[in-house]
Amino acid sequence: MLAGLGCGAPETGSTDRQADRVESDPLVGYDLRRLRPREDETLAAMFDRLWAASVSEGKRVVVLFSADWCEPCRHLDLELGNTHPRSMIGGVRVLELKEDDWSAGARMDEYNELRRRWEPVLNAYPLVILLDGDGKRAEEMKEAKERLEAVGLEPTLPIWFHELAGP
């Protein structure tokens, strides 16, 4: 890739092709919503409200449980700061819950109760789950990784999300 960054005459028409791609499939950031404790709303109510709004907007919902002390979670945070073509990630909303927000608010019971909707094991991070249209567990990130690798696809979030959209 670095070899292509040398000086020289631009390829004829390359600027036009790049402009067409950007116009037809612009780069976007992840649609990420972080749920933090609020005095006037339980976590379950907040999650259900945001999930319903996401579904009504035509978004697929992924729930992410992470923690600031978790090294793989920090790597995932870096990816969530990236941009990708809208066709790859634009149809998915990530509802993120950081353990640290809920432990600091002394509301870990709510956090753990919500997590148990989809995963009985606590304290394993990160946990990334795709929900179906009824809010049930459709696929977890580790399952998606195995499935994508089995069909020869690189197991990344944007590829997983793009593959969710179908043809």
CATH at residue 60:
3.40.30.10
Residue range of the domain that includes 97: 27-165
Q: Would residue 124 count as lying in a domain?
A: yes
Q: Would residue 36 count as lying in a domain?
A: yes
pLDDT for 16 equals 47
Q: Would residue 113 count as lying in a domain?
A: yes
Q: Would residue 119 count as lying in a domain?
A: yes
Q: What is the CA radius of gyration of the chain?
A: 19
Per the listing, tokens 């978004």 go with 59
From first to last of the 167 residues of the chain, give the pLDDT tens digit: 112 222 233 344 444 444 445 568 999 999 999 999 999 999 999 999 999 999 999 999 999 999 999 999 999 999 999 999 999 999 999 999 999 999 998 999 999 999 999 999 988 999 999 999 999 999 999 999 999 999 999 999 999 999 877 65
Q: Would residue 7 count as lying in a domain?
A: no
Q: Would residue 50 count as lying in a domain?
A: yes
pLDDT for 123 equals 85
DSSP 123-140: S-S-EEEEE-TTS-EEEE
Q: How many CB atoms lie within 10 A of CB 36?
A: 13
pLDDT for 22 equals 53
Q: What is the DSSP letter of 38?
A: B
Q: Would residue 132 count as lying in a domain?
A: yes
pLDDT for 164 equals 79
pLDDT for 1 equals 17
Q: Rounded to an integer, what distance in angstroms lies between the CA atom of residue 61 and that of residue 10?
A: 41
Prediction pTM value: 0.83
Contact call for residues 125 and 70 (beta carbons, < 8 A): yes
Q: How many domains does the chain have?
A: 1
